[in-house]
Structure formats: C-alpha cells, structure tokens
Amino acid sequence: MNQQLQNQQLQNQQLINDVLDWVKSDLNGLKYKWVYLSLNNYANTEALYGSCKELPSMDYIFKTGSNCVGLINLIKLKLNKHIPKNGTELDGCLSLWHNYLTVQNNYAHYTSDIISDVSKLKVGSIIYRPPKVTNIGHIAIYIGDNKIIHSCPNNVLCVGDNLVDRGVGIDDLDKIENELNFDTNYFTYYVDPEKWLLI
C-alpha cells in the first residue's frame, strides 16, 4: 500500500472515530421523538433533520429530539455531507436512505443474519432494517465490540434498565437481535462507513 493511500485511510478512521466520540459525548441521552406514528402517518418531521442545510445548535437539537434516522442525518450535517432528499417534509427518512444505499448506489450489503456477519462490520458501519408495511424500520451505527449506538424509544429496540424516554444510547447488538420480541434477524443490511459517512 502506498504512503498516500495509507495516510488517507488513517485520516478517514480518525474522522470516523471523532464523529462517533461526538455522538457518544454530545448526543448521548438526546430524547427520542416519534416521526412515524404508522407507516403512512407521521408527525414531528423536524426530528429527521433532513431539511436542514447545516447542523442546528445543540439547544435546538435537544429541544427537538431525534428519531433513529435523525441521528444519522445529524452526523451527516456535522460533517457537511449529503443527506438523501426528495424535496418533501420526509427528506432524510429511512426509506430514502434505503433507496440511496441500494437502488441508486448498490452500497448496502444484504445479510440474513447480522450477528453471523458481525466480523464484517467496521467501526462506523450502519446497520438497518428498511421500512415495511408491518414495521417502520430502524437504523443504528456499529461502534465495535458487538455494540451499537442509536436513537430508540423507551422499550422498542432498547435493552436494559431505565428505558423511559431513552433516546440516543449504546446497546449490545446481540441482545437486540436475540432478546427482543421481533422476528429473528431484525437488521438486514449493513453499509461500510466509507459508503455512507465519508461521502
């Protein structure tokens, strides 16, 4: 590997680590805000942050809250990077992310069992389940050691104690995949950080 490529990879990894540290320190505890009341019924679309042109103030962010994909969009805003949009109040929603990562760019890797593929996950990868008729989907960021950071409502996709208004926090990936009352293998796609976070 030439020195320039090696330097670029080190810079990329430092950027990934820095933004994940920002999420863990500055956004930890940010309250969850429901956007989808059901698949075609939504409110609080400001918690998606898809229409923002720049990162809002921390006061605004903590007043507004965030849903799972809103956290992803906040990271993209922090880095001044692209958020998938279609010019509606649902800019930045999970279905647009799924379309961007699969149909438009073929970045996402399908997996029938994310736990069996956990060794393929890089720190900073996103894992997600796209929206379906029976489920609004979910997205999280892999932070290593079988842990994810995500924004989740009180007892849905969160494990452990003190889950009331949990919001942004860290959970064990295997507990979400194995202990919650969803169909098995909840997360079905993963995307390397170079294909979502750095572009």
Residue 28's CB is within 10 A of a number of other CB atoms, namely 12
pLDDT digits (tens, 9 = 90+) for 44-103: 899 999 999 999 999 999 999 999 999 999 999 999 999 999 998 899 999 999 999 998
pLDDT digits (tens, 9 = 90+) for 27-43: 988 999 888 766 667 88
Indicate which CATH number applies to the domain containing 118: 3.90.1720.10
Nearest 10 degrees: CA dihedral of 135, 161, 64, 70? -40
Q: Indicate if the pLDDT at residue 125 is higher than 70.
A: yes
Segments forming the whole domain that contains residue 113: 3-195
The number of folded domains in the chain is 1
User: How high is the pLDDT of residue 39?
Assistant: 60
